[in-house]
Structure 1
């Protein structure tokens, strides 16, 4: 089993659901040859990106990379979202990047992740 748990979050699934609806509207617009429907579908897809970003920044998304098993649940809110995640494009776009001193003080993934005997 992988140590990565990417996308299994409230932010990820909400964004996926909204983008799926937007993709369906774009497809309907293409089938109907309707430019307004295609534009509306693309607008819904753009809204899905914004909703996912806002949810991630509010703590309902998870940082990229390895996380301990107790942080894998969808309903577990990320407490580090306010400071920003190391290597996270969304956090950098919001101006929440961690400084070099904080990154150096943070334990590495190998030190902080407790693995099960199977892994």
Structure 2
């Protein structure tokens, strides 16, 4: 069995379920040539993105990559969600995540560079 357990989370399956309903509504709207129904379906798909993101940030989504075996279960919350996951776009958009330390660079006035 692989060490990667991508997408087997409450956040992932909930988002897929809501997006599937939204896609079905879009399909009905296309078949009936109804722009309001298509827009309603696209709104449901947008809601699925927001719901998935909120569940991921609350610990019901897991980071990408290798995880310990005790965290493979779908009903296991991620203990590191509050600190953010390294390389996670969703965590970075929420202001979380581990960032590389920045190095301060001192500015050198142009006169000193020209004198050298």
How many pairs align?
A: 101
- Give the corresponding residue for 1:50: 50
2:90 matched to which residue of 1?
Answer: 90
SS of the residue 2:59 aligns to: helix
Aligned-partner Cα distance in 1 for 2:50–2:64: 18
After superposing on structure 2, the runs of 4+ consecutive aligned residues of structure 1 that deviate more than 3 Å are none
Please give the TM-score of this superposition, normalised by the length of structure 2: 0.84
Distance 2:85 2:55 in 1: 14
TM-score between both structures, scaled by the size of structure 1: 0.82
Aligned pairs for 1:55-66 (under 5 A) are 55-66=55-66
Root-mean-square deviation over aligned CA pairs: 1.0
Per-residue CA deviation, residues 44-65 of structure 1 (Å, 9 max, x unaligned), is 0000000000000000000011
Larger Rg: 2
| Aligned-residue offset at 1:71 | 0.6
Alignment deviations for residues 41-92 of structure 1 (CA, whole Å, 9 cap, x no partner): 0000000000000000000000011111111001100010000001101000
